[in-house]
């Protein structure tokens, strides 16, 4: 593989991972908040 292409793919993959991690964390936080609100 050409190094520059590999670098581009790596950065894209990292961006994607970071984005999905952020979404996952937001989902977890949202669920926590919902659970706390549902406590009677």
Q: What is the structure's pLDDT at 39?
A: 64
Integer distance in angstroms from the first to the last C-alpha of the chain?
Answer: 58
What pTM, to 2 d.p., does this model score?
Answer: 0.43
Residue-wise pLDDT for 5-40, tens only, equals: 888 989 988 888 888 888 888 888 888 877 777 766
Separation CA 26–CA 19 (nearest Å): 11
Q: What is the structure's pLDDT at 17?
A: 85
Separation CA 28–CA 17 (nearest Å): 16
DSSP 1-40: --HHHHHHHHHHHHHHHHHHHHHHHHHHHHHHHHHHHH--
Q: What is the structure's pLDDT at 5?
A: 87
Q: What is the structure's pLDDT at 23?
A: 84
As given in the structure block, the two tokens for residue 26 are: 């937001």
């Amino acid at each position: 593989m050409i190094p520059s292409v590999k670098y581009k793919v790596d950065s894209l993959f990292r961006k994607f991972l970071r984005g999905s991690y952020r979404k996952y964390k937001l989902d977890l936080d949202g669920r926590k908040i919902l659970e706390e609100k549902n406590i009677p």
